[in-house]
């Protein structure tokens, strides 16, 4: 049995494969198609929805890893699709290169993160898919294609519906250092001055535990200062003991005694660290995540962020939802390089809602979904959502163009499990 990182999506595929070459991928796909099986591909299993669930053939990319080519003059690199992001970062760093932006989780595979438009925060920076110069794809009939033109614009963010991505050519930048400042700010101040925070820094995000009066903020900017990390003891206390072990204990207490969640949320906010550090970019961007949860995340038009956030907070109170995990707010530049980018054509504010493992999430996530619909928000492709093709098609200007590419590359639905059929038809 396969299960995802959160532990709440499982499947028992008839066949499992771990190819180590592109030819082996092609042979696996062709054999599965001949048997009439649905093929899905898994990286690190960090999607929260049922993206890869299949009773057919499940392909792991764990043996398709490494850095194939580096051109320091142009900054273009060729990366195998199964390479985990932390390994991509390590390999690039050895060549004096880096990705311009990253999310705070670095264990996903390159393909899993890119094909779901995973993102970091930075109002002038796009999601990871915007870094893709080209990609190699194994299609339903076993053909190996290097996508260009509209095929590439469809393939960057395709949720695995077009085929098996086996390699990417990515645009990189010279290595750089970042100054991170973690702190706590009054919620009212952050909402009143959100544009100043988002536009006045290279990277800004905040976390708010419902019922708390402050947010935990993270401000990150490029710097020429020499690296000065927190002590190993200090980093362990902040990132492991407080952000993981203490959070886990408090969340378990809230799960057992939901009536105490408002007070517990204020406690965990008070425990949040106030610190600064300077380090290599990919060390600063990433944080360990050891507390299990499930998540829905929505790409709102940036100008709607404050109103949408306030509405979510209001509905938590109105419905009495027991929410003991934070709302997270991040910012992403507009994107037209991917037909199905959630930030397509507009500056975007992502609002993520989480629920601690083992707690009822459906009612809360349904309300967030309703609020997202009111503002025309689009779901993160790797997080939980219930929208179908009819609803999604109205939110993407190039929906029909993507569907045309899909019909051409996978006419028989070899890669169409229940999730893909729901979201794409």
CATH topology of domain 62-174: 3.30.465
In this predicted structure, what is the pLDDT of residue 306?
A: 98
CATH topology of domain 177-379: Vanillyl-alcohol Oxidase; Chain A, domain 3 (3.40.462)
- The percent of residues above 70 in pLDDT, for the chain, comes to 96
In this predicted structure, what is the pLDDT of residue 160?
A: 98
End-to-end CA distance of the chain: 27
In this predicted structure, what is the pLDDT of residue 228?
A: 82
Name the nearest CA neighbour of 41 among 31, 30, 56, 27: 56
In this predicted structure, what is the pLDDT of residue 245?
A: 79
In this predicted structure, what is the pLDDT of residue 83?
A: 98
In this predicted structure, what is the pLDDT of residue 417?
A: 98
Q: Which helix (H) or strand (E) holds 294?
A: strand 293-301
What does pTM read for this prediction? 0.96
**What distance in Å separates the CA atoms of residue 241 and residue 209, rounded to the nearest whole number?**
18
CB under 8 Å to 229, separation ≥6 — which residues?
235, 277, 278, 279, 283
Question: What pLDDT digit, counting tens, does each position of 258-285 carry?
Answer: 999 999 999 999 988 789 999 999 999 9
In this predicted structure, what is the pLDDT of residue 242?
A: 60
**What distance in Å separates the CA atoms of residue 23 and residue 27, rounded to the nearest whole number?**
6
In this predicted structure, what is the pLDDT of residue 238?
A: 58
Contact by Cβ (8 Å): 335, 343:
yes
Domain range summary for the chain, segments of one domain joined by +: 62-174, 177-379
Name the nearest CA neighbour of 348 among 334, 338, 336, 337: 334
Q: Is 96 exposed, middle or buried (0-12, 13-18, 19+ CB in 10 A)?
A: exposed
In this predicted structure, what is the pLDDT of residue 74?
A: 98
Contact by Cβ (8 Å): 114, 335:
no
- Per-position pLDDT tens, the chain of length 425: 999 999 999 999 999 999 999 999 999 999 999 999 999 999 999 999 999 999 999 999 999 999 999 999 999 999 999 999 999 999 999 999 999 999 999 999 999 999 999 999 999 999 999 999 999 999 999 999 999 999 999 999 999 999 999 999 999 999 999 999 999 999 999 999 999 999 999 999 999 999 999 999 999 999 999 998 665 555 554 565 466 678 899 999 999 999 999 999 999 999 887 899 999 999 999 988 889 999 999 999 999 999 999 999 999 999 999 999 999 999 999 999 999 999 999 999 999 999 999 999 999 999 999 999 999 999 999 999 999 999 999 999 999 999 999 999 999 999 999 999 999 99
In this predicted structure, what is the pLDDT of residue 231?
A: 58
In this predicted structure, what is the pLDDT of residue 235?
A: 56
In this predicted structure, what is the pLDDT of residue 234?
A: 54
Q: Which helix (H) or strand (E) holds 254?
A: helix 247-256
Contact by Cβ (8 Å): 24, 138:
no
């Amino acid at each position: 049995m396969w299960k995802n990182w959160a532990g709440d999506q499982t499947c028992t595929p008839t066949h499992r494969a771990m190819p180590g070459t592109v030819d082996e991928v092609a042979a696996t796909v062709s054999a599965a198609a001949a048997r009439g099986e649905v093929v899905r591909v898994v990286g690190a299993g960090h999607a929260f929805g049922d993206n890869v669930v299949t009773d057919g053939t499940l392909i792991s990319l764990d043996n398709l890893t490494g850095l194939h080519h580096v051109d320091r003059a142009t900054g273009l690199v060729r990366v195998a699709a199964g390479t985990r992001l932390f390994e991509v970062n390590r390999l690039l760093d050895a060549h004096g290169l880096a990705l311009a932006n990253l999310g705070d989780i670095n264990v996903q595979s390159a393909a899993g993160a890119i094909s779901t438009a995973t993102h970091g925060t930075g109002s002038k920076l796009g999601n990871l898919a915007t870094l893709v110069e080209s990609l190699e794809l194994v299609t339903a009939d076993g053909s190996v294609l290097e996508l260009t033109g509209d095929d590439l614009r469809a393939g960057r963010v395709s949720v695995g519906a077009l085929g098996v991505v086996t390699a990417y050519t990515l645009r990189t930048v010279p290595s750089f250092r970042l100054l991170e400042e973690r702190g706590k700010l009054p919620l009212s101040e952050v909402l009143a001055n959100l544009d100043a925070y988002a536009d006045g820094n290279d990277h800004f995000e905040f976390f708010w535990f419902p019922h708390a009066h402050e947010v935990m903020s993270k401000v990150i900017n490029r710097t020429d200062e020499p690296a000065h990390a927190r002590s190993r003891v200090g980093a362990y206390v902040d990132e492991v003991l407080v952000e993981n072990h203490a959070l886990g204990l408090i969340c378990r207490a809230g799960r057992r005694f939901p009536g105490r969640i408002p007070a517990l949320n204020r406690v965990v906010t008070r425990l949040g660290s106030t610190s600064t550090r300077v380090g290599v970019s990919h060390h600063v961007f990433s944080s360990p995540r050891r507390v299990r949860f499930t998540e829905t995340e929505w790409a709102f038009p940036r100008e709607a962020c404050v109103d949408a956030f306030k509405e979510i907070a209001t509905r938590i109170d109105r419905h009495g939802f027991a929410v003991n995990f934070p709302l997270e707010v991040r910012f992403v530049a507009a994107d037209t390089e991917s037909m199905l980018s959630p930030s397509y054509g507009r500056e975007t504010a992502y609002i993520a809602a989480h629920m601690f493992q083992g707690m009822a999430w459906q009612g809360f996530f349904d309300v967030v979904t309703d609020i997202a619909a009111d503002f025309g928000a689009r779901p993160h492709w790797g997080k939980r959502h219930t929208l179908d093709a009819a609803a999604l098609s109205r939110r993407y200007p190039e929906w029909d163009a993507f569907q045309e590419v899909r019909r051409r590359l996978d006419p028989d639905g070899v890669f169409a499990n229940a999730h893909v059929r729901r979201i794409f038809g």
